[in-house]
Amino acid sequence: MKQQEQRSAGTARRNTFREDEDLEEQIDFGDIKRIGAYLKPYLRQGVIILAAVLSMSAIAVAIPYMTKTMIDTVIPSKDPVRLFALGAVFLLAIVVYELLLRYRTVAITRVGQLMLKDMRRDLFTHIQTLPFSYFDSRPHGKILIRVVNYVNTLSDTLSSGLINVIADIFTFLLTLVVMFVIDWRLTLWSLVLMPLLVLYVLVLQRFQRRAYQRLSNKQSNLNAYIHESIAGVKTTQTFVREREQFHTFQEQQGQVRSSWMRAVHIQYLMWPGVQNISTITIALIYYLGITGLGGVQVTTGMLIAFVGYANNFWNPIINIGNFYNQLITCSAYLERIFETLDVRPEIEDRPGAIELPPVKGRVDFNDVVFKYEPGGRNILNLVDFHVPAGSTVALVGPTGAGKTTIVNLLSRFYDVTEGSVCVDGHDVRDVTLASLRRQMGVMLQDTFIFTGNVRENIRYGRLDATDQQIEEAAKAVHAHEFIMELPDGYDTKVEERGSTLSAGQRQLIAFARVLLADPRILILDEATSSIDTRTEEALQAGLAHLLKGRTSFVIAHRLSTIENADQIFYIDHGQIVEHGTHQELLAKRGAYYRLHESQYAMIRTANGDQAQSTQPGDDAGQDNQVRQDPAVSAQ
């Protein structure tokens, strides 16, 4: 528990692909015990598999004894009936053993893969609930490698190790009992090198664990860098930085290679060490059996059987050693997997949270103070405003002023530090997240388009929507026209992140998706930043009836888009500096007025330059004289 607390505390530390994550000094056997939770649903299958494996162990123990009987008793007696009967039993035992071996291999693999599926499911589901701060504090590649690579690394251990090690322990103990029954003196001689083996394993495991922890870090760093490089490939090509990217890649993969080789070198010290001790022990058995040293007196059949038992004795030890070897390796990956599962969502339903009933859309910010980290600076300082249902509120101001933070608190992507945010009088912290967000539509500047077709991306806003409803939403935001011009219309396939669409097209599709959800509260965070002026004007006309009756928060990209807002809040340094209608704020000649004048001064300058460059009769030049409002950056 203490290690889990330390682990959770360490997850907030920010890092990049150049920084290794923290390592735990000791193996946390609590992580290994937690694997049992994934075995529990398949306990019945596990018991059947274990029964089969124990039967195999019993056969493996019986075969050397049958060999002893045949050499010492049956062959000297020259009894063909007994020889045939024992041979038949011997053959039957081998056939049964091979059948059980096949069943064990298939069944264990099936159960192991089901356990991995459950673990990957839990990881993915849990990651969906984590706060934005978790994803902001680490490269996404380091998250991805935990869900895919690290879980896959556990495959052999979970597929065969857990059950086989129980069988190996059973075989070891049963063999040891039989060996003591046959000759206790020779058995004790067989155990003389056991302390050396235990010491060897204990020393080696410490170095091996550190080596695989380092390897997991370097693999995580490389994965993070590859993910970042793919996401930024357009920027790399634009600035012709392929060579620099390649050098960094070579550096990262070089560290993975050296870490891998070191880990492999250490790992493969285990098997030769155990094998050498086993070989020395068998040689000692032969020597004692032949010379009779130490009062050992054995027959030929007994000696051959004892060597067989020695193999049965050492093979489980080798297997247990290999399993321990795997466990050491996997512990480094389990540490990362359970570290992720132990991160508690910062934003989750409170005990006793209620379902938010259908809302009208009144929003109240009551003296809200917000900071991202305890002891950090205030992002919002005593923000207090009250918005009637159905009103449109615009938020403007410089970058970093706190505009996006306000709408994030309303959507409860973060919780306020002080004060409260209420919707229809309900504190958003007292209602379930699902019931709150179902009644909100959020449209961001960085729109995300999923792999699939256009229709599926719009339907994401409401999964039970009909094709007609989808088309009506698209028509309302003037997306229908360009969609019908696509090769297959609404069934046109789009690539990951909508790379085959223009930025404006992606935003129109995302707008249709939000409007299809029919939210009572609409949040537009620079939602029209990539739409040209003509499209935007058509879009505003189409949205007019949809915004009616909804509470809307618009983070302005162009001041021309918010002139008709019921209220405009000018945000600066986390406070509402001015508020009022467009005309009221212009009349005040304050911060909003200065922003308005500077923006339109840029427009007049741009239009003046454009007019000078336009030749008479140049239709293209006339078409270009469309007002282009410069962007007002938003947080």
Whether the pLDDT of residue 363 is over 50: the answer is yes
Q: What is the mean pLDDT of residues 551-559?
A: 82
Whether the pLDDT of residue 31 is over 80: the answer is no
* SS3 of residue 488 by DSSP: coil
pLDDT for the residue 499: 67
Q: What is the mean pLDDT of residues 351-376?
A: 90
Exposed/middle/buried for residue 270 (C-beta within 10 Å: 0-12, 13-18, 19+): buried
Q: What is the mean pLDDT of residues 447-457?
A: 84
Whether the pLDDT of residue 5 is over 50: the answer is no
> Which range has the worst mean pLDDT, 45-54, 158-167, 368-377, 473-482?
158-167
Indicate yes or no: pTM above 0.85. no
Q: Which has more confidence, 94 or 233?
A: 94
Q: What is the mean pLDDT of residues 272-298?
A: 77
The tens digit of pLDDT for each residue in 159-182 reads 666 667 777 787 788 888 887 887
pLDDT for the residue 123: 84
Strand 575-580's sheet: what is its strand order?
440-443, 521-525, 551-555, 392-396, 567-572, 575-580
Percent of the chain with pLDDT over 70: 78
For the beta carbon of residue 15, count every other beta carbon within 10 angstroms.
17
Q: Which has more confidence, 70 or 356?
A: 356
Q: What is the mean pLDDT of residues 524-532?
A: 67
Whether the pLDDT of residue 619 is over 50: the answer is no
Residue bearing tokens 């209420």: 422
- Tokens representing 150 are 């690290």
Q: Which has more confidence, 488 or 305?
A: 488
The tens digit of pLDDT for each residue in 419-444 reads 999 999 999 999 999 899 889 888 77
Whether the pLDDT of residue 557 is over 70: the answer is no
Q: What is the mean pLDDT of residues 580-605?
A: 83
Going along the chain from its start, the domains and CATH numbers come out as 2-342 (1.20.1560.10), 362-439+523-532+556-635 (3.40.50.300)
**What is the rounded average pLDDT for all residues in the chain?**
78
Confidence of residue 511 (pLDDT cuts 50, 70, 90): confident
Of 28, 5, 13, nearest to 213 by C-alpha is 28
Please check whether residue 335 is in contact with residue 21, taking contact to mean a CB–CB distance below 8 angstroms: no
Backbone phi, then psi, for 365, in 5-degree steps? -105, 115
Q: What is the mean pLDDT of residues 196-201?
A: 79
The residues facing 1 across adjacent strands are: none
3 state SS for 294-353: HHCCCCHHHHHHHHHHHHHHHHHHHHHHHHHHHHHHHHHHHHHHHHHHHCCCCCCCCCCC
The tens digit of pLDDT for each residue in 64-96 reads 878 878 887 888 888 888 888 888 888 998 999
Question: Cα separation of 614 and 607, whole Å?
Answer: 10
pLDDT for the residue 597: 85
